[in-house]
Structure 1
């Protein structure tokens, strides 16, 4: 017998969504804050760019691995208890980042933060899917995913201000800020998040690894993994190299990159929720097609830019941030509906692993394509743009094949 999720009042539902968005905000901010801290870390810890790259990639790859490991236990616990426990472990790992004295210590702490942060992302999306009915899930996903925008428009600049204006703490200040904020959100979550145990009532056959294998190999689930993989390759081949391309090829000062993130994040904070509402109103697949097709335009423009007026660059970059992350709102709403409640946590953990692994792979592939000219300019970024567009087109081909859990083979797509 499956226990249905608790029925929440509209006000309580909204408060729960905001709490989950807060959890999402802190672990995304923990990942993003490392990129602008690069110059300080390289100078203070006496490391090179390769070692700094290890600090960034350690988070991504341990998040991917932890997602696979989480699939062995995620269905055995109350979603609320597991989420709050992981959040405490994430806070401790982030605190260790701020307390690290050497490069190896910071690398280890970053790996731990990635391990717990990656699972938190999957748990947040799983809880949204468990609590919010599918017909309203687009708006809910838009609310939670607005955390990415908020971390860009407010969190990253605030982190840099703390790092630059608290000399006694320096680069450690943003990590202590994240821990303090997370403690407040934890208290709120402890009081508001509902207990979710319906998935625990399902009788399971075989050992845990056989159960995971059954979830992983399910034909409908495999389509979801392929879809997410193409989405990651369609975005993260381009995103990590935008700042470098803007400064070396377009000729913009490094300070302008902050303005790009501020404008893009501010716009996305509002448009992600608007995209979610349209997905609920007009259909997830239909809205995904519109946004994904439109996103190919700023991708191609970004990867072909030449020195032009700064305001034209800003317009294009803002549209890029609205559409490329924006297409993930209906995409995740569709993916969250593929697996039934009983195995949704396992499935979303595997989805999280695929996301992280292919985000890292996308950056690696783009790095192999891109070269530097003797003058420092980036070459072949246009090829990366073509690759991103090609992967987006493949995602558009796979999207209609995704099915809502329980629908017949010829039944409705999400």
Structure 2
């Protein structure tokens, strides 16, 4: 069998279930922002309180990743995935039945504690079951969850919320996630090969070993910069489109849908390309395109909707397109015995970095009234560009390190 090119039927099943799992977790996170106005009015909360609802998930997810990383390589990865996915389902269900602001914040914290670990477990499963030559394509399919959540999540959640209240989208995620978890229980085999490589050391020592290993630290720094550069503009993208570019609330779902479709098309293509070409080269080209588009987008005057859509599609494709080959490089850094811990820490850094990016952007952006244009959004763009260039420089070192690791000694 040609392992470098073909997926077995079981591998295809694993990829599909992991992608669906990612879809539900991302959808749970994505639906909060479109529901912002409805939540604020329904629960009588102000924008600062709504911001806490959003950040509560990100920071609890990041903390959870760090707390569980020491244990991540001590259990069957399937059992670990089922445990945390069940907790995520319970937390999301609590969001759907919350009727007060404190209860909703608590529910988002619980959801983040469990949901924030699922991505790292999925990445560890990928590195266990797929050789390095196939991981680019697998990462491309998993990243499709982001685009699918935009295409399906935002319009469906707004439709359900308008018809049955803001709680309905959370209950939809719960129903879908229960079906996926049953399929994981019934169809996924135990994943235990890494257990044979475990050393006799405590979870805390294992965590400390993973955190302090030099090569791993470089990978963690790259992940943090990758997340900050990619996420920095996202929290204010809707407000910028409406207040600066004069996109209407009715046109906003179309903007997200088309950008999401573009992402769905581009991600598998980038994944296949990253298994055939040098991954750092692809990341570099995508980063250059992203920088150009950010510079254009943050200085746009009011323009026709099709122009805004076109730039958004290209910019989102570039942002996500650089993430696929970059993550394929970074996930090749850890040894098998440390993969679970590495992926947990890596995932937690992604969450925390996203929260930091949103908070930092919020300190830069100014809006004098509820309807006035956002000011200093161009500065946010410049910061994202600088961080992305720094990320590329560090990734160059990680890429060389990974190539040396997988190149047989002569």
Please, what TM-score do these two structures have when normalized by structure 2?
0.94
CA distance in 2: counterparts of 1:69 and 1:287, whole angstroms = 34
Identify unmatched segments of 5+ residues in structure 2. 1-5
Residue 9 (structure 1) shift: 6.3
CA distance in 2: counterparts of 1:68 and 1:242, whole angstroms = 29
CA distance in 2: counterparts of 1:192 and 1:125, whole angstroms = 18
Secondary structure of residue in 2 paired with 1:306: coil
Secondary structure of residue in 2 paired with 1:282: coil
Contact 1:303 1:381 in 2 (8 A): yes
- Structure 1 match to 2:354: 359
- Structure 2 match to 1:385: 381
Contact 1:159 1:173 in 2 (8 A): yes
CA distance in 1: counterparts of 2:311 and 2:7, whole angstroms = 41
Contact 2:280 2:399 in 1 (8 A): no
- Structure 2 match to 1:240: 235
Secondary structure of residue in 2 paired with 1:171: coil
Q: Does 1:222 align with 2:217?
A: yes
Residue 403 (structure 1) shift: 5.1
Equivalent of 2:292 in 297, 300, 303: 297
Residue 408 (structure 1) shift: 4.4
Deviation per CA, 1:149-186: give whole Å up to 9, x if none. Answer: 101101221111111122xxx11111111111011111
CA distance in 1: counterparts of 2:148 and 2:287, whole angstroms = 22
Q: Does 1:267 align with 2:262?
A: yes
- Structure 1 match to 2:155: 157
Secondary structure of residue in 1 paired with 2:191: coil
Deviation per CA, 1:313-350: give whole Å up to 9, x if none. Answer: 11101111111122111111111100011110000100
Residue 32 (structure 1) shift: 0.6
- Structure 1 match to 2:76: 78
Equivalent of 1:313 in 305, 308, 311: 308
Aligned residues: 402
Contact 2:150 2:260 in 1 (8 A): yes
Secondary structure of residue in 1 paired with 2:189: coil
- Structure 1 match to 2:63: 65
Secondary structure of residue in 1 paired with 2:166: helix
CA distance in 1: counterparts of 2:134 and 2:400, whole angstroms = 14
Contact 2:245 2:300 in 1 (8 A): yes
Deviation per CA, 1:22-74: give whole Å up to 9, x if none. Answer: 11000110011111111111111111111111110000000000000111211
Question: In structure 2, do the counterparts of structure 1 residues 25 and 410 end up closer, same or farther at CA, with 3 Å as the change threshold?
Answer: closer
Contact 1:339 1:404 in 2 (8 A): no
Greater shift in the superposed pair: 194-203 or 380-389: 194-203
CA distance in 1: counterparts of 2:214 and 2:358, whole angstroms = 28
Stretches (4+) displaced over 3 A: 403-412
Identify unmatched segments of 5+ residues in structure 1. 1-7
Please, what TM-score do these two structures have when normalized by structure 1?
0.93
- Structure 2 match to 1:39: 37
Residue 207 (structure 1) shift: 2.9
CA distance in 2: counterparts of 1:405 and 1:84, whole angstroms = 33
